[in-house]
């Protein structure tokens, strides 16, 4: 069993505001590009511009959430992400569906329907999340290690000791299986039995 902390309405709203800014920048860039292209083919450039608008408005969130571990630029800045309701990464179909149904959640304006849905649902889902079976959660942050060391110095390995390396090569498959089996089961064994079995194994290996 595991659990995630659900993202609140405020963080989701701020993330959406950042994403709107990014999309506005992309729309402005597309406008400049197709206006220049329109000097040659005016009608065709205008049609492509409207296709680009739809691709930006719908595809921005769908593509980034699919390829960027459930995050857009705004979600990454605010430290939230979209996951499947089961706690695993979302697929393209889920990302596409939840972003397509944003058209419903944004009604009648200022995301009113979606905001009410998030506040009323036990898992803080808007209608797009319900349809796609997704949830928006806070990302878990872990502290960086105090010191980064080279892989060769990170492990306590005796492979460089000649006589131990030779001894390791002489271990048979049944002996290896016995050592691994005992190591994996050690916590389930009574202490006395554990001591007895490890001592017997140590005497055999010696």
pLDDT digits (tens, 9 = 90+) for 155-198: 666 667 788 778 878 888 889 889 989 998 888 889 999 999 99
What mean pLDDT do residues 110-124 have? Answer: 89
Closest listed residue to residue 111, CA positions, set 22, 27, 15: 15
Q: How many angstroms separate the CA atoms of 183 and 193, rounded?
A: 13
Sign of CA dihedral 49, 54, 56, 57: positive
- How far apart, in Å, do the first and last CA atoms of the chain sit? 42
48 band by pLDDT with thresholds 50, 70 and 90: confident
Closest listed residue to residue 69, CA positions, set 61, 81, 60, 54: 81
34 band by pLDDT with thresholds 50, 70 and 90: confident
Report pLDDT for 130.
Answer: 94
Sign of CA dihedral 112, 114, 118, 121: positive
Cis ω for the linkage preceding 108 (within 30 of 0): yes
* Residue 203, token pair as written in the block: 């005497």
Q: How many angstroms separate the CA atoms of 144 and 154, rounded?
A: 15
Average pLDDT, the chain: 86
Which pTM does this prediction carry? 0.64
Range in 43-47, 50-54, 71-75, 94-98 the model is least confident about: 43-47
H or E segment and range at residue 41: none
Q: How many angstroms separate the CA atoms of 65 and 68, rounded?
A: 5
Sign of CA dihedral 76, 78, 80, 81: negative
Pairing verdict, β 80-84 and 134-138? antiparallel
Phi, psi (degrees; rounded to nearest 5) at 19: -65, -35
């Amino acid at each position: 069993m595991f659990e995630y902390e659900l993202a609140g309405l405020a963080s989701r709203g701020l993330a959406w505001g950042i994403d709107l800014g990014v999309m506005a920048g992309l729309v402005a860039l597309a406008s400049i590009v197709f206006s220049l292209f329109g000097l040659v083919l005016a009608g065709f450039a205008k049609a492509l511009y409207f296709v680009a608008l739809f691709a930006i408005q719908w595809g921005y969130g769908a593509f980034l959430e699919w390829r960027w571990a459930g995050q857009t630029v705004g979600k990454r800045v605010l430290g939230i992400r979209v996951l499947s309701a089961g706690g695993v990464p979302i697929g393209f179909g889920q990302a596409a569906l939840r972003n397509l149904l944003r058209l419903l959640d944004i009604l009648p304006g200022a995301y009113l329907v979606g905001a009410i849905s998030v506040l009323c649902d036990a898992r803080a889902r808007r209608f797009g999340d319900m349809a796609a079976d997704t949830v928006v959660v806070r990302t878990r942050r872990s502290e960086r290690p105090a010191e980064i060391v080279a892989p060769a110095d990170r492990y306590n390995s005796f492979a460089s000791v000649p006589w131990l390396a030779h001894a390791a090569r002489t271990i048979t498959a049944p002996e290896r299986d016995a050592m691994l089996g005992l190591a994996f089961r050690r916590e389930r064994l009574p202490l006395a039995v554990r001591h007895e079995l490890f001592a017997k194994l140590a005497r055999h290996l010696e």
